[in-house]
Structure 1
Amino acid sequence: MTAHHPDTPRSGLPKRHPRHERRGEARLPGVIAALVAALLYLALPESLLVGPRYVLPALEVLLLIPLIAVNPRRLTRQNRFSRTVSLVLVAVIGISNLIVLGLLVRALVSTDVKDGGALLLAALQVWATDIIVFGLAFWELDRGGPVVRTQAPRSQLPLADFRFSQDENHDAVEEVSDGASRSSDWTPTLVDYLYVSVTNSTAFSPTDTMPLTTRAKLLMSIESIAALITSLLVIARAVGALQ
């Protein structure tokens, strides 16, 4: 009886196509994430808005339109224009959310808190947007972005920004190693990066996925600090105002 090699899938399992032969990630999850961030912004109190209420959400929708036109169903094509627009979209959501967080903190420390319920809700909206935007940022930057990760051979991928557990599981037991990056050509999707964002914003540090590059560490640091401010200062003050 021959031993099973960890780089070879077990018999009976369907053969996985190489990433450069796949259809790419679905477009819908990324669109939903961006639209949810826009809706969370629309629901903020008037005092926390960056300009007129509908300007930023309208800009985000306008940036989404060409991205959907390039890849309406699957993320398989990319050019310099679409790559720039996708990064600008993430930057617009992220910068505006950090400004909103600053306005929220200033309102709490410089005035009497009268509506603690509204402030608590606003803090939760900022925190949820924080998770979405940093998940999108990780998704867009790691290994060249969602298009490159599935359409380019692994040997041509840029250096990874994150090390997932699947990248190390090739020498584990069969039911684990068969799903590893080396054996199954696994690549992370938006859900994986949103999970990284959730754990980073709740633990204030990496958990099972480690940042490898300077930009990944910087982004995770910014997210952790923003989440820490939201949870320890904003939410605590808002809950205190309810008493």
Structure 2
Amino acid sequence: MKGTHSSKIARHSRLKNLNSRWPTWLALIIIALLYEALPKIFYWGPRGLLLGLVSILLIPLIITLWNNNNRINHYLILAVNILITLYTVISVSRLILATIHGQIGPNHLLLSSVILWTTNILVFALWYWSLDAGGPVQRELKESAGSTAFLFPQIQLSLTQTIGISKSLKSWTPNFVDYLFLAFNTTTAFSPTDTPVLTRWAKCMTMLQALISLTIILMLAARAVNILNSGSSYFVS
């Protein structure tokens, strides 16, 4: 009876882990599919390489999570994050070069900018989710509560209000959607809005994310100005 009860608890824990992680796996697949939609000039390696690598890495990610190999799972998450970040940086760099040298038309520029802008949100949401307070496992176990990088409003309320606060708010921990919202705000407003950034690494990452977003917008604006002025004659040069 005791063994059956413990196995049920273990199974429930595994299913809970899978339920909390599937949004991150979906984000990885979306990033890879978005990369497939980019024009050929942005590709690094053969078509389908990133999608294949992400699909292959998802298998050990799921297996290690199911077997509670948290340390290996964390390293695999970081490896996938580095891979998709590398692809994003290369693609944005090629967007800049293609725009400067006039190698991309306005339609493809708009499509590529939207794809890279969306990818920027997903990539940094994955980074924030995987690094904040030691990662998702430590956050669930409350082992790194003092090392949180982002002070979400729910955490602020639980720290400042001690009377009349619900148990759910006291035990609240951020999930991937919260980090996705944070990344979306950083990309659109160039700031994390209602979530203060506490640690230096998080400040550097939010600055980098805002810089990438600003670069994409500037490339679009520069191309738009160039198109508008292409047929103009200047009185002053």
Q: Closer, same or farther in 2 for the Cα pair 1:94/1:193, shift >3 Å? A: same
Q: List alignment gaps of at least 5 residues for structure 2.
A: 1-12, 229-237
Residue identity opposite 1:168 in structure 2: Q
1:166 touches 1:180 (CA, 8 Å); kept in 2?
A: no
Q: Aligned with 2:116: secondary structure?
A: helix
Q: Which residue of 1 aligns with 2:157?
A: 169
1:14-33 aligned at under 5 Å gives the runs: 23-24=16-17, 26-33=20-27
- TM-score normalised by length of structure 2: 0.81
Per the alignment, residue 9 of structure 1 pairs with: none
Alpha-carbon offset, residue 165 of structure 1: 0.8
Equivalent position of 1:192 in the other structure: 178
Q: Which amino acid aligns with 1:217?
A: K
Rg bigger for which structure? 2
Distance 2:193 2:211 in 1: 16
**Aligned in 2, Cα 1:174/1:157: closer, same or farther, shift over 3 Å?**
closer
Aligned length: 213
RMSD of the TM alignment (CA)?
Answer: 2.4
Q: Hey, what does 2:75 align to over in structure 1? A: 84
Q: Are residues 147 and 105 of structure 1, via their aligned partners in 2, closer, same or farther at CA, if it must alter by over 3 Å?
A: same
Closer, same or farther: CA 179–104 of 1 in aligned 2, 3 Å: farther
Query: How far 1:223 moved relative to its partner?
Result: 0.2
Q: Could you tell me how far 1:237 is from its partner in structure 2?
A: 3.5
| Larger helix share, 1 or 2 | 2
How far apart are 1:70 and its partner, in Å? 2.2
- 1:1-243 map, 5 Å: 23-24=16-17, 26-71=20-65, 77-111=68-102, 113=104, 115-150=105-140, 152=141, 154=142, 157=145, 159-170=147-158, 171=160, 177-178=165-166, 181=169, 183=170, 185-231=171-217, 233-240=218-225
TM-score, normalization by structure 1: 0.79
Following the alignment from structure 2 to structure 1, what is the Cα–Cα distance between the partners of residues 215 and 65? 37
CA distance in 1, matches of 2:109, 2:34: 14
Looking at both structures, which has the greater relative contact order when contacts are Cα pairs under 8 Å and sequence separation is at least 6?
1
Q: Could you tell me the percent identity over the aligned residues?
A: 33
Say if 2:36 and 2:47, in contact at 8 Å, map to a contact too. yes
Unaligned stretches of 5+ residues in structure 1:
1-20
Measured in 1, the distance between the counterparts of 2:226 and 2:51 equals 30
| Native 8 Å contact 2:133 2:144 kept in 1 | no
**In 2, Cα distance between equivalents of 1:97 and 1:196:** 19
